[in-house]
Chain A
Amino acid sequence: MEDDKIHPDSRRRFLKKLSTGSILAATGLAFNSLSSCKDKSSEKSTLLTPDGKLVQVPNSEIEAMEHLYHGAPPDEAREGIPGKKFVMVVDLSKCKNARKCIQACDKHHNLTPERPYIKVLEMKDNEKSSPYWMPKKCFQCDNPPCVKVCPVGATFKRTDGIVLIDNERCIGCRFCMAACPYSARVFNWGNPPEGKLDIPYSPETSLPSKQGTVAKCDFCPEMLRQDKLPHCVTACPNGVIYFGNELEDSVTNGEETVRLSTLLKDKAGYRYMEELGTKPRVYYLPPVDRLFPFEKENSENSTS
């Protein structure tokens, strides 16, 4: 009885979210919508994929996807997505501090502007060099100091390279925050600002957030499970952030897709503070041959 009441409502909400999500995906993925099930160009191909002729989506399927959208429950979330090792490349020469990644991230993680997961930092390597913008997320280190120090295994490293936090296990000791050299972690000091979200908790979305626990950038695994890019990648108007599967040697910023190895070789990719030995999964491309002049205020961030 009660289930009947809840379901239509949550389904509607899901569809709403799905549609906004797919608009983002459509704009982001531009011409390569082949992997999407709503593909029409597959009509004429010799495709052998079973989802080639998709007309109506049965309700059961929607519900299965709804589960995915919310992210896996805590136990399942400890398993990585098989056969993947996610990697991010941030091209510093293209960032003009448009702050769209922060806004998209804040929106999807229900964050308030004064406490974002993503920060775009104004950096200056030395007195003579010019300043540049450095978008900073969680580096999802392969030798993660935060995971090492967690006394209860509330934060964990998955096989797909992502470091997540289980807010149903976190005891709030904040040792991980002290251990992270990149200040990637934030704490839910008080009640979550969004009030009560009526969805089951998942470490993959970090929603709903819980008072007295740690949170951070999570690479949006609930999107990755649907083969969609993280929100910050699709939101960036300048194609700064590339994302992909290291095992496939390919990263995309939503517009262009390039080989990871070629990109890092050609543009001298580096990882921030390599000397700490944390082995980050986020690479940076140096801020050379910039696309934009360094401005604190510009047309894209002034509205925010």
Chain B
Amino acid sequence: MKATLFNIIWVLKISWSVLIIFFSFNTVLAQEDDMMEDAKIELSFIEDADSKIIVATATNKNDEPIEDLELYFYVKRSFSNLPIGDFFNATDETGTIKVEFPNDLPGDPEGNVAILVKLMDSDLYNDMTLETIKKWGVPSPSPSQFHEKRSLWAAAANAPIPLILIISALIFSIWFIICYIIYILFKIRKIGMVT
């Protein structure tokens, strides 16, 4: 009785996993069948006095504009990419989307920023990424400006000068007195030798 129950469970288990494999295989096939195509995205950058705008235009292989294509705009940062623009950015009927670049975003010391435009998770088009470097950022202070300044928390070599002067003066004066006393003691010794 027990053995048959076990058998039934085993059969169920195996058939279940076979089913899973089959279906997943099927979906892979289905995707391949779909003939994902490459979209073509062209970027242009419009810059005037008070605004910087990224314009992306998406076309398919027949050079027809793609409508309602979701694009993602990022600025490259150290650990991740910072999204810019609206929460969702989709192309209009001319296949165009405009995204404003924030005016106060820091770039590298020269003001360069790497702007990424990504096409992701589309049902029809392959993922792609465009990267462009623009001088649109606010220049960040160059690493040479980060030299340690004289302070109480700096390394020994960068101690505040008034502190060094005061402590040296105090040490010098007291040790001068000590040395002078030792000198007198030597003189006392000399006098004793003569007599």
Taking the complex as formed, is A274 at the interface, i.e. its CB lies under 8 A from any CB of chain B? no
A247 & B141 in contact (Cβ 8 Å cutoff): yes
149-180 of chain A: CB within 8 A of chain B: 153, 156-157, 159
* Minimum CB–CB distance for A257 against chain B, Å: 4
Chain A residues with CB under 8 A of B116: 34
* Minimum CB–CB distance for A128 against chain B, Å: 37
Which stretch, A61-69, A80-88, A211-219, touches the partner chain B?
Answer: A80-88
3-35 of chain B: CB within 8 A of chain A: none
Chain A residues with CB under 8 A of B81: 32, 34, 257
* Minimum CB–CB distance for A40 against chain B, Å: 9
B83 & A45 in contact (Cβ 8 Å cutoff): no
B128 & A250 in contact (Cβ 8 Å cutoff): no
What residue of chain A has the Cβ atom nearest to residue B137's Cβ? Answer: A248
Which stretch, B54-62, B147-155, B169-177, B184-192, touches the partner chain A?
Answer: B147-155
Bound CA–CA A20/B125 (angstroms): 33
- Of the residues B109, B131, B153, contact of A45 by C-beta under 8 Å: B131
Chain A residues with CB under 8 A of B154: 157
Number of interface residues of B (CB under 8 A): 37
Chain B residues with CB under 8 A of A29: 79-80
Taking the complex as formed, is B122 at the interface, i.e. its CB lies under 8 A from any CB of chain A? no
Chain A residues with CB under 8 A of B146: 80, 82, 159
Bound CA–CA A122/B113 (angstroms): 41
Which of B77, B83, B143, B147 has most chain A Cβ within 10 Å?
Answer: B77
B140 & A248 in contact (Cβ 8 Å cutoff): yes
- Of the residues B38, B80, B140, contact of A44 by C-beta under 8 Å: B38
Taking the complex as formed, is B76 at the interface, i.e. its CB lies under 8 A from any CB of chain A? yes
B153 & A252 in contact (Cβ 8 Å cutoff): no
What residue of chain B has the Cβ atom nearest to residue A142's Cβ? Answer: B153
Bound CA–CA A46/B118 (angstroms): 12
Chain B residues with CB under 8 A of A46: 130-131
- Of the residues B79, B102, B152, contact of A229 by C-beta under 8 Å: B79
A interface residues with partner B (beta carbon < 8 Å)? 29, 31-32, 34-35, 41-42, 44-49, 78, 80, 82-84, 143-144, 147-148, 153, 156-157, 159, 227-229, 243-245, 247-250, 252, 254, 257-259
Given contacts A41-B127, A49-B131, A156-B155, 12 further A-B contacts (CB under 8 A): A34-B81, A42-B129, A48-B131, A144-B153, A227-B78, A244-B77, A245-B77, A248-B140, A252-B79, A257-B82, A258-B82, A259-B82
